[in-house]
A and B are shown apart, each in its own frame.
With several copies, the nearest count.
Chain A
Amino acid sequence: MSRFKVAVQVVPRRGLLDPQGKAVADALHTLGFGGVSSVHVGRHLVLDVDASSEADARKLTRQMCERLLANPVTEDFEIATVAPA
């Protein structure tokens, strides 16, 4: 068993209303950052996972995303990094 540091990104499914993304964009414009567009806000999760291999850690993480971390109706997830902790 080794420990892996895993990062997961959960983002609103494309095409769905993203009021938070819109609010961020509006606010940035108000603050004078005019050259910003297409803002989206999702969740960033970091966790330590004990697994026998990197592949195993990845598999476990995928299962966690499918069961809990992302809502399949509205969100997509992506496993960003899996690295020895």
Chain B
Amino acid sequence: MKFGIVTFPGSNGDYDAYRAPIDALAEESVYLWHKDHDLQGADVVILPGGFSYGDYLRPGAIARFSPIMQEVTAHARRGGPVLAICNGFQIACEAGLLPGALQRNASLKFVCAPIALRVENADTIFTSRYDARQLITVPIAHGDGRYSADEETLDRLEGEGQVVFRYAPDRLQAAEAYNPNGSMRDIAGIVSTEGNVLGMMPHPERAVDPVLGSADGLALFESILQRVAA
């Protein structure tokens, strides 16, 4: 299976997203250049983390107009899987691939830390290898991760099972401080209505090797492999 990782100007998680399928799944990765109109036959597109266009104006606001985004959008419309991580999540929201927006962390500070997530929906193509309500630890690293949407959208997301990951208390985080950015309803990751676009602030691609502290992100890549290859 082939993962295509988009490099926008200012992407810096592209390398990690590129390595994860190769190192953890022994699958193929290719970089996709933002100026191209070619997905190079990728089965799964990853919009990686970083600071596309320096996050100037708003994170993701400028990158979503990149030429490659037309192809990514078409791929998503065809039902192709898109994994949008961190800055990728911000871009996906700006591009309208996912509802809502990501705003400045409530603390006004960038925060990098391992964070506990609860898998809210283990029935998506991205999460089938997790157990429902499983607690996992995955790093976050962002300054603009506060998920916001209007109440109606939030209710719909919850009703349709589109909330996939939620920040949750565990031994690392005190119960009152587990939500690292003030996201509404503790939302850390959501899928599109059709279930093929996942946006999340935490970095599963940084958690595929136990030597780095956690391999809890591995199951996400394995889920994709299992479902997309099938």
Contacts and interface: CB of A to CB of B under 8 A. Distances in A.
Do A and B share a direct contact in the complex (Cβ within 8 angstroms)?
Answer: yes
Interface of A: 12, 16-17, 19-20, 23-24, 27, 30-31, 41, 43, 68-69, 71, 73-74
B182 interface: yes
Interface stretch (B18-26, B102-110, B190-198): B102-110
Interface stretch (B38-46, B57-65, B131-139, B166-174): B57-65
B101 A20 contact: no
A19 B182 contact: yes
List 3 A-B pairs, minimum CB-CB distance, nearest first.
A23-B56, A73-B101, A20-B56
A22 B14 CA distance: 24
Nearest to A39: B57
16 contacts: A12-B103, A19-B56, A19-B106, A19-B107, A20-B57, A23-B53, A24-B57, A24-B62, A41-B56, A41-B57, A43-B57, A71-B58, A71-B94, A73-B93, A73-B100, A74-B101
A7 to B, nearest CB: 16
Contacts, number: 59
A20 B57 CA distance: 7
A33 B99 CA distance: 27
A74 B103 contact: yes
B161 to A, nearest CB: 22
A23 B62 CA distance: 8
A19 B106 CA distance: 6
Interface in B114-150: 146, 148-150
Contact of A17 (B56, B57, B182): B182
B213 interface: no
Given A20-B56, A27-B53, A68 B100 contact: no
Nearest to A16: B148
Contacts of B99: 73
B65 A20 contact: no
Nearest to A41: B57
A20 B103 CA distance: 11
Given A20-B104, A27-B61, A41-B56, 10 more contacts: A17-B148, A19-B54, A19-B108, A20-B108, A23-B56, A23-B62, A27-B57, A30-B65, A31-B65, A73-B100
